[in-house]
Amino acid sequence: MTKPIIEIKDVWKTYTMGDNILHVLKGVNLTIHKKEFIAILGPSGSGKSTLMNQIGVLDIPTRGKVLLDGHDISTLDESELAKIRGQKIGFIFQQFNLIPTLSALENVLLPTLFQDDSKEEQKERAMMLLTRMGLADRTHHKPSELSGGQQQRVAIARALINDPDIILADEPTGNLDSASGKDVMKMLTDLHHNEGKTIILVTHDTHLINYSKRTIYLKDGEIEKITNHNR
Amino acid sequence: MSSMFHQYFLLAGKEFKRRKLRSLLTLIGIIIGVAAIVSLITLGQGLKNAIDDQFDALGKDKLFISAKGNALTPGLTIDAVKITEDDLEVVKQTSGIKRAAGLIYSTGRIEFNEIVRYNFVSGMPEESEDRALVGEANSYKIMKGRSFEKGDRYRAVLGYSYTEPTFFEKSIELGDTIIIQDRDFKVIGFLEKIGSPPDDQGIQIPLDIYASVFDTGDELGILIAQTDSGENVEFVAAAVEKDLRNSRDVEEGKEDFTVQTPQQLAGSFATILDIVQVVLVGIASISLLVGGIGIMNTMYTAVLQRTREIGVLKALGAQNKHILSLFLVESGLYGLGGGFLGVSIGVSLALLTEQLFFVFVGPAFLSIEINMFFILGVLLFSFIVGVLSGIAPAYGASKLNPVDSLRYE
């Protein structure tokens, strides 16, 4: 095993609604290593989205620590979190979440806008990524002119533009037919194999755990079990 | 950083395109406000230019002396205060005066082609140099025929309007006879078009004939004096005022006459115009304020509609300052777009008005100049109005929590 990239240490996330105190995460401990391909599996309400938000540094825990590359992010302010997100984590969403007014190429380039070292060669990189996603002839199309599968591939290219170590995919096949879904999963697998990206897959679809090497089963805010697959 | 802002402008521009109709509706307030301000200021400046041109044409070395209260309407004298030949002599004797002449106006009964009209008739001095002075001060130029000569008696020079069948159902020709106050006058000349109806509809006859026809004795309506070259016009005006006070035996501050220079006349016009302009621009500014509120409303709606997008941008690494700039640039572009349309409409309105004035009133009343610095200033101002209107919505957008906004449907 390589060294840990994400360490979740006794993380609690608690929401207070009036008199109700809701513990969505109850002391989760999890270590994710570099170049791992893991799946976080659980029914809705299990807390997997909340856990994903902690891993993706979209949110900080109520209690406990989240270490990213050994640095505690629980103490960082919003702009520092945003900066880390932009550099270290590539998000892929169930809804694709492309900006409708922008072309495929512009959508891929969008994350570079928020890094201080926005450069011209990133356009070449974006073209290269789109080509790798099989979209070389779709670079100037708007999301509405692309199929679901194509949109999700644009989203993968966008997730890769800043060359992050971690790809965080939230139900990436949830809105796709099975053929497109397989395409997308193949691309994630390739990224894992060929480039050594750390892939974290969040899903309730038990079929997808066939792609992962380790599966975390989440239930009621706690880790129920962890299985290793020898693939 | 600069290329980043360039990108923001591109992004905002695309957003602008996405909601064309809504954008246009949002901008109506700004468009009207800017169009009103641009056209009002341009027209006001155009009027001032025209007035300056007029007074420049009079010559900066002229003085105008008239009975108090009658400076602009000498023909309508109803009180007992009169300017006479005696006053003309006093002015001529004042040091610094090169030449002075008097003329008098009144409304007269004009008959031609068996139709009767009432128009201005003026008595012109006989000396050709005096007449030249009056002519120069009034921009009179002979278009056809001739001006008066020594010994002319019942002769008349007519304004431009009489060459058209406006008053008497047919145009008057050189050599025709018209009847002024029941006396026959032979038409010997026509003046070029000046552009002001009282001048173009005026009729000139010799001064001594005027005095007998209108029974005015030695009264003069207005004196026009020219200063010696190199004299300070203001000083000479003061000297004329002093001499007239002595001869008319009135105390300082209680003068029953006025001595005015072209600059003073132009200045009093400009002051009135300035006041009118300030009031009108003030009213137009209210429209800008309303426009700003319209932009603010649209930006609040946009933030709400794009909450999820904001969440996505934050997930992709956008910091609060990035979201803030993005929305500020967008609302600034709303302002700039409104300003651009408003400027186009305002300038078109001003030019159209100038054309209408030219056709229906005359060429001398409006002289429009489009000042590029003014236009750029207005555009910058519109952009700033947009940015200011966007501050509150953009700040709200920047503070959105990424987790909640990503979940927003």
Three-state SS string over chain B comes to: CHHHHHHHHHHHHHHHHHCHHHHHHHHHHHHHHHHHHHHHHHHHHHHHHHHHHHHHHHCCCEEEEEECCCCCCHHHCCCCCCEEHHHHHHHHHCCCEEEEEEEEEEEEEEEECCEEEEEEEEEECCCHHHHHHHHHHHCCCEEEECCCCCCCCCEEEECHHHHCCCCCCCCCCCCCEEEECCEEEEEEEEECCCCCHHHHCCEEEEHHHHHHHHCCCCEECEEEEEECCCCCHHHHHHHHHHHHHHHHCCCCCCCCEEEECHHHHHHHHHHHHHHHHHHHHHHHHHHHHHHHHHHHHHHHHHHHHCHHHHHHHHHCCCCHHHHHHHHHHHHHHHHHHHHHHHHHHHHHHHHHHHHHHHHHCCCCCCCCCCCHHHHHHHHHHHHHHHHHHHHHHHHHHHCCCHHHHHHCC
**Å from A70 to nearest chain B CA?**
20
**Å from A230 to nearest chain B CA?**
33
> In chain A, what are the domain boundaries?
35-58+85-228
Q: What is the pLDDT along chain B (409 residues), one digit of tens a residue?
A: 445 556 777 777 777 777 777 778 888 889 999 999 999 889 888 888 888 777 777 777 888 888 876 444 554 545 567 888 888 889 888 888 888 999 898 889 999 988 898 989 999 988 888 888 888 777 788 888 888 888 888 999 999 889 888 888 888 999 999 999 999 999 999 998 877 777 888 999 999 899 989 888 888 888 889 888 878 888 888 898 899 898 888 888 788 888 888 777 777 778 888 888 888 888 888 888 888 998 999 899 989 989 999 999 999 999 999 999 999 999 999 999 999 999 999 999 999 998 888 888 766 678 888 889 999 999 999 999 999 999 999 999 999 999 889 888 7
Residue of A nearest to B318 (CA): A114
Residue of A nearest to B19 (CA): A101
- CB–CB contact A110 B14 (8 Å): no
Chain A residues whose beta carbon lies within 8 Å of the beta carbon of residue B313: 110, 114
- CB–CB contact A97 B18 (8 Å): no
**A96 interfaces chain B, CB cutoff of 8 Å:** no
Interface size A-B, in CB pairs within 8 Å, comes to 70
- CB–CB contact A79 B320 (8 Å): yes
**Å from A84 to nearest chain B CA?**
7
**A76 interfaces chain B, CB cutoff of 8 Å:** no
Chain B residues whose beta carbon lies within 8 Å of the beta carbon of residue A86: 316-318
- CB–CB contact A100 B18 (8 Å): yes
Model-level pTM?
A: 0.73
**B322 interfaces chain A, CB cutoff of 8 Å:** yes
CATH for A35-58+85-228 is 3.40.50.300
- CB–CB contact B317 A162 (8 Å): yes
Chain B residues whose beta carbon lies within 8 Å of the beta carbon of residue A73: none
- CB–CB contact B312 A93 (8 Å): yes
Residue of B nearest to A49 (CA): B403
**Å from A229 to nearest chain B CA?**
30
Mutate to test the interface with B, among A15, A17, A101, A144 (most CBs of B within 10 A): A101
